[in-house]
Homo-oligomer: A and B are copies of this chain.
Amino acid sequence: MKKYAEMTKEELKAERVKVEAVYKAWQDQKLTLNMARGKPGAEQLDQVKGLLDVLNSDSDLICDGIDVRNYGTMEGLPSCRRLFAEILGVKPENVFIGGSASLQLMYDTIAKCYTHGRLGSEKPWAKLDVVKWLCPSPGYDRHFNISETFGMTMIPVPMTSFGPDMDVVEELVKDPDVRGMWCVPKYSNPDGIIYSEETIRRIASLRPAAKDFLLMWDNAYCVHEFFGDYVPFPDILSECARYGNEDMVFEFASTSKITFPGAGISVFVCSENNMNFTKKLLESQVISYDKVNQLRHVLFLKDKENLLKIMKQHAAVLGPKFRCVLDALDREIAPLGIASWQRPNGGYFISVNTMPGIAKATWKLCRECGLTMTDAGATFPYGKDPKDSNLRVAPSLPPIGQLEKAMQIFCTSMKLAALNKLIGE
């Protein structure tokens, strides 16, 4: 097969006739498929159903001397804080256990910057004329949504294969209006890149002009390998502490992709100063999060070793799905030279970069064929992908049979978009 870029116009047109026929045949099947969100599939949820069996009315509901049913213990059950301290390589006193979603903890951390200011702030950010925020891109659309809803000025930072381009970051943080940065440091969303040691060192040792610069470290995929073994990863809190920056960072994680996405527990990790500051503010808002569910997770997950066994079970389901996506791309797209993609070993996505100018068109063709994808552009601030090139593939939800069809539609749509673009109509 010739690369599309090397074809003559006649060859391209002939190819388009073929691809259109394939596209039409898929369209006629009137399928409804979804590769839009990093949503675990039913097989994964079934594997962890045991979470529902660890507690019943005969159970001991006193844990660490605390009746888990009643009010109180805002920062979370000591046993649960110890469990996450082990998982994330920090001290239990640096761990706060939240409700079912780390997204809410992240939103709330930013919201409090606006309403109250954070440690080191001269005033609440709501009183500032401008708040600039660094957004390594492509990145996580829900992060960017939080920034956008608070009216931040988002500044895209290019991603490299080692993480955010730190030359750019170090330059940008000289601006005192730059108040923070989003990071998904392990299996970044969507690229699946693991930040290198040097990137982490350079982030941890930043000297931002803003004294209240906030590093939002979303360690969403801290134990989420789908190919190969668990990859240890540095603890950002002690890395920052090494450079006197321990108050700069909040780390987040959750069990959303370990147990039940909608009924898990979330955590943030921060320095002692940040913990004291935050708890004081939280006292007006929170009596306690759901300690019964915390106890369930303590009993079900047990410890890091057992947790990693559970993650191997998830990998047994996810691995073949990611293999299916990569195989389709390698077989259908690679020979044509119209896109490149990452080959991550963990996380929930495969990030595809098409030739410039066809991501939106590909997305639209997918939709018209019954396949829902993450919006083209969603991985960039304000939904604006300057090259109209990035598409995020989320293969976790569909069963493998559906996924194969979805990838056929995805590849066919991308080919058609590329041909239309190259033919110039």
Contact = CB atoms under 8 A, between A and B. Distances in A.
Contacts of A70: 39-40, 45, 260-262
Contacts of A45: 61, 67, 69-70
B281 A149 contact: yes
User: Contact size class for A?
Assistant: 35 or more
A181 to B, nearest CB: 18
B145 A262 contact: no
A288 to B, nearest CB: 5
Given A262-B290, A262-B292, A289-B100, A42 B56 contact: no
A101 interface: yes
A57 B49 contact: yes
Nearest to A99: B99
A145 B72 CA distance: 17
Interface string A271-297: 000000000010111111111110000
Interface stretch (A107-115, A153-161, A224-232, A399-407): A107-115
Interface string A64-79: 0001111110000000
Contacts of A283: 145
Interface in A31-48: 37, 39-40, 42, 45
Contact of A285 (B49, B107, B256): B107
A45 B59 CA distance: 13
A285 B148 CA distance: 12
From A56, A69, A72, name the one whose CB has the most chain B CB atoms within 10 angstroms. A69
A55 B284 CA distance: 33
A132 to B, nearest CB: 18
A53 B284 CA distance: 33
A69 B263 contact: yes
Contact of A111 (B103, B111, B291): B111
A287 B53 contact: no
A130 interface: no
Contact of A52 (B57, B126, B150, B262): B57
A59 B260 CA distance: 15
A323 interface: no
Most buried by B among A72, A115, A127: A115
Nearest to A295: B263
A95 B59 CA distance: 33
A98 to B, nearest CB: 10
A37 B290 CA distance: 18
Contacts of A262: 68-72, 287-292
